[in-house]
Amino acid sequence: MDRLISTYILAQTDSQEQAEAAIQDIVKDVGTNPAKLLQLVQGLGEYLTSDEAFVRSKATALLSTTLATLDQSKVNASAVNVLVEFYCDRLTDQACVPELLKGLLALSKFDKFTGVDCVKATKAILSLVNVQTYQQTARHYVFLFFDSAIRNYTQSLRSISSDFVFGFIQCLDGEKDPRNLMLAFTLIKNIIQEFDIAQHVEDLFEVTFCYFPITFRPPPDDPYGITSEHLKVGLRDCLSATPYFAKFALPLLLEKLSSSSGSAKKDSMETIAACAPVYGSSALTPYAEELWSGLQNEARDELEQVALHTLQVITTELSMGVSMGGSNDPVEKFLRPIITDCMTQLQKPELKLAKPSGKILKACAMASDPACTAITLATIPTLLSQYNTSEQSTRKKALLDVLLDFLDASRVLYGSAGSKEPEHDTDFVTPLLTFKDRFFEIFTNALMSSNEYNALRLAGVKGLHGMILLREFLSETEISYAVQYFVRIVLEDPDIELQETALNSLASLSLIMPEVVRNMALPAFFEMLPTSQNDMEVDTVIQKKSPEYILNAVTKIGLEPTLFADIVPQILEKIDLVSTDFTGASSTYPVALLTTLLVVLRAKAELGHTDLAQYLDNLVPRLLAMCIYPTLTTNDADHIMKNPEILDVVAGITRVVMIHVDAAAQNEFVKAIFNIFVHGQLSVLTAFKENVSPVPFQPLHFESRISQQNTSVLFSTVIDGCRQQTILPVNSIHEFTGSLVEVAIKTSNITQRTALSKAVATILNKFNKGNVLQAFIGQELVPKLHSMIHYEQASFEARESALIMYTWITKAMVLSTNAIGYDMTGELMNIFSVPRLGKIAADGFNLVIGEQRDVLTKETFAVLRLLYKQRFFNYSIPVLVRGFENSTHEVRHNFLIALSHVLRNIPKQVLLTELPPLLPMLVHSLSFPDPELKSSTIETFQIITKDAPGLMAEHLATLTPLLISLTNSQDLANTMKVRIAALKCLGAQPKSLPFTALRPYKAQVLKELEKSLDDRKRLVRREAVECRSQWFTLSGSIGSA
């Protein structure tokens, strides 16, 4: 031990490591055996009393460090006591103070440290240490010690309360370090709460407020992470900790409010808002006038929101004061000048300064019931009479905007209609109730006045909506009138903005008052839908809304479960009508009808509605029956429900409903579906439509009727919607899958082929758990398809079908990161050189790695392994690059197409890290006359511009002329899409690349793009304007920002 001590003490600054090692050893030694503490103290004895300050300090440091690290539970009470005594006495030794403070801090955390020790140490520090003369770390120890003391020994410290507070103030006086300040602010707050500060209020206030406003700006790469916001909040908490500060703080805060610095103003307002509730009404009252005059300018400027909030808090607080009634009531006194000022501005409500006045009144009215009542009674009658005498629409509109503010304030204060929890005091009613009839009349008139300024009518809609939303405001009759007005606007008004606002109002009402919407809105909407072919024709003559428009409106208001339940049968009824009575009608209307159901179902699913499952039992089978029966008639005549577009929508509905039921329900459903589609047994459907027909239903055959084959999309949707644990009712999955593959290749019906390919892909992806199908896929299916693709004697169609099936299976395997998938991908690249099939294989890459909207998705329970895209990317990119290099010109095209598909579908981070070696290939892509390839490549370049500007800057010399040449509209290969993409890409450069890199090109780009300003297409011109604007503003200051 002694040896270690002397090594440590005698170590020179240059053998710091040695000292470190020694200290480690000692600490370890004593740490595990506190009995040795005595030994340590004895060993240190001579050094602690050495004449050299340096040695004493070093020895103290060793002892303090040991204390801070050892297991304190083994140190007994008397030892602690002695140590405290020792440390306190030594505090006179200035050279050792920082180390001593560290030791005291360590001791203060000991279990055996007592309140008496605490008081002793505190006194010693306060009397012996002149805190502000020491460095930051030492000061930090002091504050940490106080923190620990206040936390654990408040009771004991209270005995020296006054001295402690006074001493603390002295310690703090002059502190500048943000780390210490953060700590000090917490301490101040605690002291205010725990100790009697009455004697020292002014001192404490001064030592605190001197930091206001905080102007601290953290240095760059600040390791401590203290922001000016942290300090502001810390200081604000202190200032708002006690009402004693009120009389000192308010005049000073008001003064800072008129400061020229925006941040100081903001800080003042936020601090006033934080302090107001603590200082209380009586403290605020004397300053009421000054507060208003200070805040009013801000409320009309950038800091509007902060100022309004502050006004609101002050008003709330003043309202809490004891009300004397009459003119001396503090809140009324405060509000009087506000009301007068605002009303003066509102005499010309259409001017710029009027709007903030409305907001100010709103903020104050929102504060409390008395404030709201006072403001309402003082302003509304004037505003109303002003409205009556106004002729100008802009003025009327501006006045309505003010009334809307009042409705808003009322809703916040007195509660909204339809809210579940009664969070508002129901004893109070809004003072607006007195004016209800006038409001209703005014808003209604504004809305009904056709040929008026649109904004005025819009305010009318918003006003009625705002009134409906107030709790216990409008009567049921009034609400239903308002809803009828909205309906009329939606159905009859030509203005889009009005329609939308009214529709949105109906949509929001449909959720809180479904009853009214069901009775008033829905019937009116459905009545407008055509019921016969005649209706459709008449519609175009008189200017009625199209059925599509009305159905779109229905999708917005039909989400609520009871409303949706109401809509479903009505839509089905219309479809029945269309399919029987409309002869030779186009499919637009029935498609729109069904899409309505689909859109609402999807929106409901998004909102987590639970009523979706029930539609699997009635809606879905009924739709299936409607689609299947028409394919069974003897003559197979034209029928609306055979339309592929209709089938797609029905598939979408089936899918969204089916993925929201559990596995048990799915099993039932899938069994029924297999009975229908595989076995042709329609008995399950007869409940919905009685129709026994002579023609068998064989949708999964390659020789059956086309109309039946088309319904296979419904079948494949159901397979796609299956959960992984759902059981497919077949004897052998691989035999069944094999039969589907067979049909898909033999059929000449593309719809059927695609549907079956999807079904096969989904089965292989989802039901290959534990690799049960691995052998079948690897040894049977893939080799078979492979030889069909390459069998040159076969017809092109057969080879193409095999290739498409092959691509789909590749996708299924890649998603589940099955090793077979990568082999198949490599095989796809081999096909690039096969004439005609090559391009199809290259485009197949989009299918393989691109996300499909309607199949093999996460929400339909497909097996999607983590990072499957990255793994595909890592595998395929090197192979693609090699293939590109070793190919002839024509085949290269296919490699570039495949590459562009991969790049487009890869996550951006992966893309950016792997890009540099690919750039030459990408540049090459721009010289192929393939518009799709070009625009896709330009899009990649645009991503690079934004996210890897450095990389882009390196290639500007090649790319800029190339991009400019792509904006040339004379070249037929530069389609509109290519030209727009090129302009967008060029336009993105000034925002991302450094000025120095772009400067050489500025003149050239601006000059060349002048031609694009005269492009024949408006959309291109628009992009050219944007692009040139970016380049015009490119200059040293902006470009580098």
Partner 1 sequence: MTTLINQNPIIYEASANNSTREWREDEDLEDSVDLIDAQEIFDLIRSISDPEHPLSLEQLNVTQRDHIQVSDENNSVLVEFTPTIPHCSMATLIGLCIRVRLLRCLPARFKVDISVRKGTHQSEHAVNKQLNDKERVAAALENSHLLEVVNQCLATATSGGVVANIVKGPAIAN
Residue type, 791: Y
Residue 1029 engages partner 1 in binding (rule: CB under 8 A)? yes
Following DSSP, what letter does each residue of 97-137 receive, concatenated? HHHHHHHHHHHHTSTT--HHHHHHHHHHHHHH--GGGS-HH
- Contacts for 973-976: CB closer than 8 Å, 24+ residues apart: 973/929, 973/930, 973/931, 973/934, 974/931, 974/934, 975/931, 975/935, 976/1017, 976/1019, 976/1020
Q: Which stretch binds partner 1 (CB under 8 A): 78-86, 907-915, 932-940, 1011-1019?
A: 1011-1019
Residue 543 engages partner 1 in binding (rule: CB under 8 A)? no
Which H, E and C letters describe 204-266, residue by residue? HHHHHHCCCCCCCCCCCCCCCCCCHHHHHHHHHHHHCCCHHHHHHHHHHHHHHHCCCCHHHHH
**Number of residues engaging partner 1 in binding (CB under 8 A):** 47
User: In the complex, what is the shortest distance from the CB of residue 976 to partner 1, in angstroms, rounded to a whole number?
Assistant: 6
Residue 551 engages partner 1 in binding (rule: CB under 8 A)? yes
Residue 1 engages partner 1 in binding (rule: CB under 8 A)? no
User: In the complex, what is the shortest distance from the CB of residue 940 to partner 1, in angstroms, rounded to a whole number?
Assistant: 23
C-beta of 107 vs 257, nearer to partner 1: 257
Residue 652 engages partner 1 in binding (rule: CB under 8 A)? yes
Binding-site string for partner 1 from residue 953 to residue 992, where x marks contact by CB under 8 A and - marks none: ----------------------xx----------------
Peptide linkage before 213 cis (omega within 30 of 0):
yes
User: In the complex, what is the shortest distance from the CB of residue 262 to partner 1, in angstroms, rounded to a whole number?
Assistant: 13
Residue 454 engages partner 1 in binding (rule: CB under 8 A)? yes
Q: How many residues does the chain have?
A: 1041
Q: Which of residues 339-358 bind partner 1 (CB under 8 A)?
A: 348, 350-353, 355
CA distance 548 to 591: 9
Q: Note whether 87 and 104 are within 8 A (CB).
A: yes
Residue 555 engages partner 1 in binding (rule: CB under 8 A)? yes
Question: Whose CA is closest to 872, among 920, 909, 825?
Answer: 825
Residue 1032 engages partner 1 in binding (rule: CB under 8 A)? yes
Residue 725 engages partner 1 in binding (rule: CB under 8 A)? no
DSSP for residue 929 = S
Q: Note whether 885 and 917 are within 8 A (CB).
A: no
Residue 495 engages partner 1 in binding (rule: CB under 8 A)? no
Q: Which stretch binds partner 1 (CB under 8 A): 78-86, 245-253, 775-783, 1023-1031?
A: 1023-1031
Q: Which stretch binds partner 1 (CB under 8 A): 187-195, 249-257, 366-374, 1006-1014?
A: 1006-1014
Cβ neighbours, 10 Å, residue 357? 25
Which pair of structure tokens corresponds to residue 762?
Answer: 């989904």
Q: Which stretch binds partner 1 (CB under 8 A): 99-107, 198-206, 540-548, 560-568?
A: 540-548
User: In the complex, what is the shortest distance from the CB of residue 611 to partner 1, in angstroms, rounded to a whole number?
Assistant: 19
Binding-site string for partner 1 from residue 305 to residue 324, where x marks contact by CB under 8 A and - marks none: --------------------
User: In the complex, what is the shortest distance from the CB of residue 529 to partner 1, in angstroms, rounded to a whole number?
Assistant: 12
CA distance 278 to 284: 10
Please report where in the chains the tokens 């099955």 appear, as a residue: 818
Report the residue from 548, 914, 930, 939 that binds partner 1 according to the rule CB under 8 A.
Answer: 548
CA distance 49 to 51: 6
Q: Which stretch binds partner 1 (CB under 8 A): 3-11, 124-132, 517-525, 543-551?
A: 543-551
C-beta of 769 vs 1022, nearer to partner 1: 1022
Which H, E and C letters describe 28-68, residue by residue? HHHHHCCCHHHHHHHHHHHHHCCCCHHHHHHHHHHHHHHHH
Question: Whose CA is closest to 351, among 384, 408, 397, 383?
Answer: 397
User: In the complex, what is the shortest distance from the CB of residue 599 to partner 1, in angstroms, rounded to a whole number?
Assistant: 5
Residue 1022 engages partner 1 in binding (rule: CB under 8 A)? yes
User: In the complex, what is the shortest distance from the CB of residue 406 to partner 1, in angstroms, rounded to a whole number?
Assistant: 20
Residue 598 engages partner 1 in binding (rule: CB under 8 A)? yes
Q: Which stretch binds partner 1 (CB under 8 A): 164-172, 531-539, 599-607, 910-918?
A: 599-607
Residue 455 engages partner 1 in binding (rule: CB under 8 A)? yes
Question: Whose CA is closest to 873, among 848, 837, 836?
Answer: 848
C-beta of 496 vs 541, nearer to partner 1: 496
CA distance 417 to 721: 40
C-beta of 282 vs 347, nearer to partner 1: 347
DSSP for residue 852 = P
Report the residue from 217, 420, 853, 889 that binds partner 1 according to the rule CB under 8 A.
Answer: 853
C-beta of 1003 vs 1019, nearer to partner 1: 1019
Angle at which helices 436-448 and 476-492 cross, to 10°: 10
Q: Which of residues 379-438 bind partner 1 (CB under 8 A)?
A: 394
H-type alpha helices, 678-767: 706-710, 712-721, 733-746, 750-766
Q: Note whether 712 and 671 are within 8 A (CB).
A: no
Q: Note whether 370 and 316 are within 8 A (CB).
A: no
Element (H, E) at 982: helix 976-992
C-beta of 555 vs 654, nearer to partner 1: 555
Residue 552 engages partner 1 in binding (rule: CB under 8 A)? yes
Q: Note whether 413 and 372 are within 8 A (CB).
A: yes
Residue 54 engages partner 1 in binding (rule: CB under 8 A)? no
Q: Which stretch binds partner 1 (CB under 8 A): 1-9, 112-120, 805-813, 1028-1036?
A: 1028-1036
Residue 935 engages partner 1 in binding (rule: CB under 8 A)? no
Q: Which residues pair with 470 in a beta bridge?
A: 416
User: In the complex, what is the shortest distance from the CB of residue 722 to partner 1, in angstroms, rounded to a whole number?
Assistant: 22
Q: Which stretch binds partner 1 (CB under 8 A): 110-118, 135-143, 175-183, 550-558?
A: 550-558
Footprint on this chain of partner 1 (rule: CB under 8 A): 348, 350-353, 355, 394, 454-455, 496, 546-549, 551-552, 554-555, 588, 591-592, 595-596, 598-599, 602-603, 652, 853, 975-976, 1010, 1013-1014, 1016-1019, 1021-1023, 1025-1026, 1028-1029, 1032-1033
